[in-house]
Structure 1
Amino acid sequence: MHELSIAQSLIALIEDEMAKHGKKTLLTVKIKHGRLSAVVPEALEMGFTALTMDTRLAGARLELEEIPVVLRCRACSREFTPEGSSAFAPCPGCGEELGHAVVSGRELYIEYLELE
């Protein structure tokens, strides 16, 4: 379950930001994750909750938003979203099956923190 190590890294980043801004309480953290980032939202939530239990971050709301996969065809440059979670799909414009560039879908970042 790599989500536990992701949660540890997120908590370290959150605590750094709280210290920088002199804030004591985390109300909400919003995480954006790409469909190809292999993040299981439920596992990340569980890891975050377990690691923040009995800390000053306990009770903070974790919001997760999935970013869809967008590919750019190597042949015709058309951008498209394939069905499912695969980066392997024929281009709907020209039918090219391989070599597409991933435009989005691999991200994993904190979009915002709500602090007090």
Structure 2
Amino acid sequence: MHEVSIMEQTLEIALNHAKQQGATQIHRIKMKVGTLSGVIPEALEFAFDVVTKGTIAETARFEIESIPVRCYCHHCNVEFQPDDFIDECPHCHQYSLDIRQGKELELTSLEVS
């Protein structure tokens, strides 16, 4: 489960930012997780509960914003959300290799005091 190591790294970033701000408590951590990121949100939530024990983030709320896949068709000059893992343009039925979103995995906000 690589989600534990991902969460350990995310928590380290959050703790460093909190320390820089002179904070003693982390109240909320929010992440964007793309559906093609290779991360299972439920496993990430479990990992959060495990790695925050004994830290200033132990009682923090953890929020995940799920980012759907968006592709771009160079033939039609249109962005689209594929119906499946096959990135076929719904207009011209050409396959797109231009994935514009859905691979995100990032810490987006942190609430501290």
Contact 1:74-1:100 within 8 A present in 2 as well: no
Q: Find the residue that maps to 2:111 and give its secondary structure.
A: strand
Q: Percent identity among equivalent residues?
A: 35
Contact 2:36-2:69 within 8 A present in 1 as well: yes
Contact 1:29-1:112 within 8 A present in 2 as well: yes
Gaps of 5+ in 1: none
State the TM-score, normalized to the length of structure 1. 0.91
How many residues get paired? Answer: 113
Aligned to 2:99: 102
Runs of 4+ in 1 over 4 A off after TM superposition: none
Gaps of 5+ in 2: none
Aligned to 1:9: 9
Question: Could you tell me which amino acid in structure 1 is paired with residue 105 of structure 2?
Answer: L
What is the root-mean-square deviation in Å for CA atoms of aligned residues?
A: 1.2
Query: Which string of whole-angstrom CA distances, capped at 9 and with x for unpartnered residues, describes residues 6-52 of structure 1?
Result: 10110110011011111110000111111100111111111111111
Aligned to 1:46: 46
Contact 2:33-2:103 within 8 A present in 1 as well: yes
What is the alpha-carbon distance in structure 1 between the residues aligned to residue 52 and residue 64 of structure 2? 17
Q: Find the residue that maps to 1:36 and give its secondary structure.
A: coil
Aligned-pair CA distance for 1:56:
2.0
Query: Which string of whole-angstrom CA distances, capped at 9 and with x for unpartnered residues, describes residues 39-68 of structure 1?
Result: 111111111111111222211110011001
2:109 to 101, 107, 112: 112
Q: Find the residue that maps to 2:47 and give its secondary structure.
A: helix
